[in-house]
Structure 1
Amino acid sequence: MVRLSNNLVGVLNLVTFLLSIPILGAGIWLSNRASTDCEKFLERPVIALGVFLMLVSLAGLVGACCRVSWLLWVYLLVMFLLIVLLFCFTVFAFVVTNKGAGEVVGGRGYKEYRLGDYSHWLQKRVSSTKNWNKIKSCLSDGKVCSSFQEKYLNDTIEKFYTEHLSALQSGCCKPSNDCNFTYVSPTVWNKPAVLVSSNPDCNAWDNDPKVLCYNCQSCKAGLLQNIKTDWKKVAVVNIIFLLFLIVVYTVGCCAFRNNRGDNHYSGYKGPY
C-alpha cells in the first residue's frame, strides 16, 4: 500500500505529460501560421502552458518512480503554488464578473448592454485605446458582424427586432435602440436629421463595415458580457480542477514521505 501513492503519482503525471505534447504542438502550429494579432496573442500562452505541463509532469514522474526526493519536493512546491494561484484566480473571477447584465428592451428579442454596468476593473481593460484596438482587430478577423449581416440580411424590420442576438452582435453590429435610426439592413441604418438621444454611441455609429459600432461603448459592454459568461464557466471548471489538484498534491505528499523513508532505511547499516 505504501508504494501505491508513488505508482499513482507516476500514472497521473504520465497522462499529464502525454497531454502536454498536443498542447505544445498546437502552440508551435499557431506560431507558424499566425497572421493576425489574435492568433499571435494566443500562441505564446499555449506554448508556455505546454512547456510548463511537460516539465512539471516529468518532475513528478521521475521523482515518484525513481524515488528522487529532491525532484519530488520541487514538484510538490510547484503544485502548491499552482493550487494557491488557481484558488486566487477563481475567487477573483467571481468577484469581477459579479456585476453587469444585459438590459431588456421592450418589443425586442435581444438585450442591449451598457459599459457602466460592469466592474471598474473590467471597464479599465477595454478603456485603454491600445487594448481596444487589438480587440477590434480580433472582432474584425473573427467576422462577427459580417456573418451577422449575412445571417439576417433578408429580415424585415419586424423580424429583425425579434431576433435573439448575441451580446457582441447587439453591441457591435447595430446601433443602440435609443438612437432611433431607420433600419435598412442589419448593418446599414440611416441616421435622423437631428439626433435627439444623448447616447454617445449614436455619433460613433457608421455604416462602413469596418467601423459600424466597434468604437461604441455598447460594443465594449458586449465584449465584457461575453467575458463575464466565459469566466464564470472557467471558474466552475477551475473549482473541479482545484479539487483534483488537491487530491494529486495529497497523494504526492504520501509519495514524498515514502521516498524519505526509503532513503532513511537504505542509509541505515544496522548495529554491526
Structure 2
Amino acid sequence: MVGVMLVMVPLLMMFTIGLTFVGAYKMESKRITASPMWFKSKVYNNNKWSEIKSYIHKSETCEEMAITSMALSSYVLNMQNLTPIQSGCCRPPTFCEMEAVNATFWMKKDHKSNRTHPYDTDCDTWNNDQNILCYDCQSCREGFLRTAEHKWRELGLFMVTMAVKLIISHLSVFLGTMLEH
C-alpha cells in the first residue's frame, strides 16, 4: 500500500499539472510561476522581451522564411500559411497594407491609415533591416505567446495521457496483487 501511494502521489501531481497546461484549470495570477498571467507579464516586460527577441532572431525563422519564399509573388506571400512567430515578427501586419517586395522586405504606402486597429504602432515599428523587422511589434509578442501556449497545450496533453495510463496500470497491478493474496 505504501508503494502504491509513493507512485500515485507524483502521478496525480503530473495529472494536475497536465490539466493546467491543457487549460482545464485557469491560474490567473502574476505571482504563480508559469501561469499564463505570469508568462504574459514576462513577455510584456521590455527587459525580458529583449532576451526573448534575441532568441527568436538567433533561431533564424525570418531568414528561413525569406529564403524559401524568394521567388513567390506578393499575392502568394499573403496566402502562405505562416506560424504565429513568422506572421507576427517577420512581416508587417496585413492591416498596414504594405506592398511586398519579398517575404521580409515590404514597402510602406504613402497614404494615411485609419488608426483603428489595436496594434497600430506596429505599422510604424516595422523596419526592413533584417535585425529589426517587427521584433519590437506587439504582434510579435502575441505570436510568441500563441506559440508557447500551443506547445504547453501539447505538453499538457502528453502529461495527462501518460499519467492516466500509468495510474491505470499501477492500480491494476496493485489490485491484481491484492486479489492474489
RMSD: 3.1
| 2:46 equivalent in structure 1 | 129
Q: Residue deviations 1:28-53, cap 9 Å, x none?
A: xxxxxxxxxxxxxxxxxxxxxxxxxx
Report the counterpart of residue 123 of structure 2 in structure 1: 202
Q: Which has the higher contact order (CA 8 A, sep 6+)?
A: 2
Name the residue aligned to 2:165: 244
Cα distance, 1:121 vs structure 2 = 4.9
Indicate the residue corresponding to 1:93 in structure 2.
Answer: 21
Larger radius of gyration: 1
Deviation readout 1:182-228 (Å, 9 max, x if unpaired): 22211111223455243111122111111111111111111222223
- Alpha-carbon shift at residue 137 of structure 1 (Å): 1.9
CA deviation after TM superposition for structure 1 residue 173, in Å: 0.4
Aligned pair partner of 2:142 in 221, 243, 256: 221
Return the TM-score normalized by structure 1.
Answer: 0.52
| SS in structure 2 of the partner of residue 210 of structure 1 | coil
The 5 A counterparts of 1:177-196 are 177-193=94-110, 195-196=112-113
2:58 maps to which residue? 141
**Residues 57 and 131 of structure 2 are in contact (CA less than 8 Å); yes or no, is this contact kept in structure 1?**
yes
Q: Take 1:185 and 1:195, find their aligned partners in 2: how far apart are those partners?
A: 23
For residue 76 of structure 1, report the CA deviation from its aligned partner: 4.9
The letter for the 1-side match of 2:130 is P
2:23 counterpart SS class: helix
What TM-score, normalized to structure 2?
A: 0.75
- Cα distance in 2 for residues equivalent to 1:236 and 1:213: 32
- 1:1-272 to 2 correspondence within 5 Å? 76-77=5-6, 79-95=7-23, 120-193=37-110, 195-198=112-115, 199-247=120-168, 249-250=170-171
Residue 151 of structure 1 deviates from its aligned partner by 0.8
- Determine helix, strand or coil for the equivalent of 1:153: coil
The residue identity in structure 1 corresponding to 2:160 is I
1:139-193 CA-to-partner distances (Å, cap 9, x unmatched) read: 1121100000101111111221222222211111000011122222111112234
Distance 1:202 1:164, change over 3 A: same
After superposition, give the CA deviation of every residue in 1:232-271 in whole Å (9 maximum; x if it has no partner).
22222112210233145437867x99xxx9xxxxxxxxxx
Separation (CA, whole Å) in 1 of partners of 2:114 and 2:106: 15
User: How far apart, CA to CA, are the structure 1 residues paired with 2:135 and 2:25?
Assistant: 22
The answer (yes or no) to whether the contact 2:53–2:135 under 8 Å persists in 1 is: yes
| Runs of at least 5 residues in structure 1 that lack an aligned partner in the other structure | 1-68, 99-118, 262-272
Asked whether the equivalents of residues 175 and 202 of structure 1 are also in contact (C-alpha less than 8 Å), the reply is: yes
Supply the distance in 1 between the matched residues of 2:45 and 2:9 (Cα, whole angstroms): 31
**1:267 aligned partner:** none
| Contact 1:172 1:213 (8 Å CA) reproduced | yes
Larger relative helix fraction: 1
SS at match of 2:81: coil
* Identity among equivalent pairs (%): 23
SS in 2 for 1:206: coil
Preserved contact between residue 84 and residue 147 of structure 2 (Cα < 8 Å): yes
Deviation (angstroms), 1:129: 2.2
Change (3 A) 1:76 1:133: farther
Q: Equivalents in 1 of 2:13, 2:114: separation in Å?
A: 46
Count of matched residue pairs: 166
